[in-house]
Amino acid sequence: MTRRQLPLFRQAIQASFTIFCLYSGWKLYQFYQWAKGSSTIYVARPPSVEGFLPISGLVSLKRLALTGEYDPIHPAGLTLFLAALTLSLLLRKGFCGWICPVGFVSNLAETTGRRFKLGIKMPIWLDIPLLSLKYLLLGFFGYLILWKMNIQAIEGFMRSPYNMIVDIKMLYFFLAPSRLAGGIMLGLLILSFFLRNPWCRYFCPYGALLGLLALASPFQVKRDEATCIDCKKCERNCPAAIPLTNKTTMRSPECIGCLECVAVCPPKDCLDVKIIERQTPPYLLPALVMALFLGFWLTALITGHWHSQLPIEVIKKYYEMGVNISHPR
C-alpha cells in the first residue's frame, strides 16, 4: 500500500464500521420489537450497540478497578471502552481516526464542504476557548463518576432498571429525538460542512479523554525541516486543523492518527511515522488499530465477556416499560 492510498483505505474501514453500526442498530430495533411483544420474530440482541454507552463503560471501569469484577450487564460496552482506551495509549487516537462512525460522517461532510470551498477557518481567539469545552465536559463526568460515586452508588446504578435498558434509551434518542436534541444534531451536521469536525473538536468528552491518553503513545508523525517545502498541504487536509508546519513532532491531543498529512505530503520522507524514534511503514498504524480492536472483541467473546448475563425475562420486563423508566436519582 502506498501513502497516497491511505485516505481511501481509511474511508473504506470507517465506512465498514459505520455500516456495521447501522446494521447493529437495526438488529436492536428488531429485538426491542420482539421483547415488548410487537413482533413474534425473535432476533438476538447485538452486544456491539453497547459501544455507544461510554458513560456506562466508565462506571463499569471504576467498578472493575474497585472490585475486580467485570460488568455482567453491559460487558461488551466495557470491552469496547477498554479497547478505545488501549488504542489511544498505544496507537494515538486510533479509535477516533479509523473506527468512530460519528467521525466518519463528520469527515465526509467536511471533505464535501472543502470541495465546494465552504470551509471556514475558525479564528484562534474563538477556537481556543471552544477547544476547552470538551475538557470541561470530561471533567464534569470524571468528577461525578470517578470522584463522587462510591461502590454503593455504582452498584445501585448498575442494577437499576435504567441501566438495564439504557441501550433502548439510546435507540429512542436516535429514532425520536426531542426538538432540542434533533436541532443540535442537525446543527452540528450543517456546521461540519463549514468547520472541521466541530463535534469531535469542541464537544466530544470521549475524544478528550482519548486525546489525553494519546499523549503517551509511542507512535508519532515527524516532520523533516530540511525537506519541507512549506506547501501546507498537510495543514489543509488535517481533520483536526493542527498547524503541522510549526512543529517537528506531532504530540497534539487533537491528532487522531489518520495519516492524512503523511498521504498528501509531496516531498519524500518529509513526514514519517515513527515509533520510539524508529521509522515504520505508515500502514502499520491502521493495521495495528484493526488487529488490537478486533483482538479485544475476540478475547471478550472467548472469555464470556461479550454477551449480557441478564435473563431474557428481566430484559423483556423492563423493555415493556421502556421510556417510562427514568434515570436513578
pLDDT digits 0-9 by tens, 183-205 = 999 999 999 999 999 999 999 99
The H-assigned helical ranges of 143-204 are 151-158, 161-164, 166-175, 179-192, 198
What average pLDDT does the chain have? 93
- Environment class of 249 (CB within 10 Å of its CB; exposed 0-12, middle 13-18, buried 19+): exposed
Residue 255 belongs to a domain = no
pTM above 0.85, yes or no: yes
Residue 244 belongs to a domain = no
Q: Is 280 helix (H, G, I), strand (E, B) or coil?
A: strand
Q: How many domains does the chain have?
A: 1
Q: Which three cell numbers stand for residue 283?
A: 500502514
Closest CA to 144 of 88, 86, 205, 98: 205
Residue 6 belongs to a domain = no
Inform me whether the pLDDT recorded for 121 exceeds 70: yes
Q: Which domain holds residue 108?
A: 11-218+291-324
Residue 235 belongs to a domain = no
Closest CA to 90 of 217, 206, 211, 210: 217
Q: Which three cell numbers stand for residue 286?
A: 491502521
Closest CA to 201 of 191, 216, 215: 191
Residue 102 belongs to a domain = yes
Task: For helices 75-91 and 284-303, give the axis angle rounded to 10 degrees.
Answer: 150
Residue 274 belongs to a domain = no
Residue 55's H or E segment, with its range, is helix 54-67
Q: Which three cell numbers stand for residue 209?
A: 479523554
Residue 56 belongs to a domain = yes
pLDDT digits 0-9 by tens, 270-311 = 999 999 889 999 999 999 999 999 999 999 999 999 999 999
**DSSP state for residue 267 in the 8-state scheme:** S
C-alpha torsion sign, points 89, 93, 98, 101: positive
Inform me whether the pLDDT recorded for 328 exceeds 70: no
Query: What's the pLDDT band for 37 if we cut at 50, 70, 90?
Result: confident
Inform me whether the pLDDT recorded for 326 exceeds 70: no
Q: Which three cell numbers stand for residue 2?
A: 502506498
Instruction: Report the distance separating Cα 56 and Cα 252, nearest Å.
Output: 28
Instruction: Report the distance separating Cα 156 and Cα 159, nearest Å.
Output: 5
Residue 63 belongs to a domain = yes
